[in-house]
Amino acid sequence: MSYIGEISALITAILWAGTAIVFTEATKIVGSYVVNITRLLLATVYLIITILLFNLDFRISWEQIYLLGLSGLIGLVFGDGFLFKSFQYIGARLSMLVMTLAPPLAALLAYVYLGEELSTWGILGIVITISGVSIVVFKRSEQPTKDYKKNNLGYIFAFLGAIGQAVNLIFAKEAFQLGEINGFVATFYRMVPSLPFMYLLGLMYRKKRNSVLILKKEKKALNYIVIGSIIGPFLGITFSLIAIAYTFVGIASTLMATVPIVMLPIIIFYYKEKLSPISILGAFIAVAGIAVLFLK
């Protein structure tokens, strides 16, 4: 199928936009640690059921398992960990603005380590798309939480998060280059090592809480997490891996970074917010960039 990688990347952005909504609502009720550890655990269960139900071939080489596991640790633990930490210091808007560096970083690393050479149109598409996303993110307003601390250290954390998101894609792509892997199987091997590390981080920062007892009391939060773990860690990560398997890492990363654009209709209809003309312009620029990537 033509453009299977690009289409998978856009599907990923749509799924992650939905995930952002439900996980935000769940976090308000039970906190980020309970949401994070529960979403990964549930997604792992979904993946096991899917692999067994459809009799998917989970036998891959140890080198592929190592690369996928390393990709998961760098992306889900290192990358996401620094990104969430940056939220506390500079807020979500500026953090996501710094995170727009992830696609060009991924493209550069893919060129250096994987030998992926983008065409002039591909580079132009990335630049246009990221410019549009940056405009939309920069114009978004936010209400700081009580934990929000204005500190330039947050920019460093956000940049480290961007590096984590770029590097994890390189390792995942390398695993796919060693042999064919089913997307759900790849997601399973990518996610499993992250669970114990996430648990250990909870112990280190004394944030370990009895998730079962908390979620038994907060059924609404559990419902949000169940939905979010399906469309995010289960389907979202799977489609992101399919994306990098079938197209250039830089292009896949760019299309997956269009979450702020995808969320604009949600902002209008769910949050009842009005968009500024600049945000609308940014969305049109991003869509133009996406068109260029499909015509590369």
**What letters, b where the CB count within 10 A reaches 16 and e where it falls short, cover 96-117?**
bbbbbbbbbbbbebbeeeeebe
Give dist(CA 49, CA 64) in Å, integer.
21
Predicted model pTM = 0.91
Enumerate the H helices of the chain as residue ranges. Answer: 4-30, 32-53, 62-72, 80-99, 102-109, 120-139, 153-177, 183-191, 194-204, 211-217, 219-229, 235-246, 249-256, 259-262, 264-269, 277-294
Distances (CA, A) of 231 to 17, 21, 224, 237: 9, 11, 11, 9
What local confidence, expressed as pLDDT, does residue 261 receive?
92
Give dist(CA 67, CA 274) in Å, integer.
44
Sign of the dihedral defined by the CA atoms of residues 183, 69, 40, 258, in that order: negative
The parts of the chain modelled with pLDDT lower than 50 are: 144-145
Give dist(CA 269, CA 206) in Å, integer.
38
Angle between helices 80-99 and 120-139 (to 10 degrees): 100
Give dist(CA 102, CA 250) in Å, integer.
9
Each domain of the chain, given as residue ranges in start order, spans: 4-294
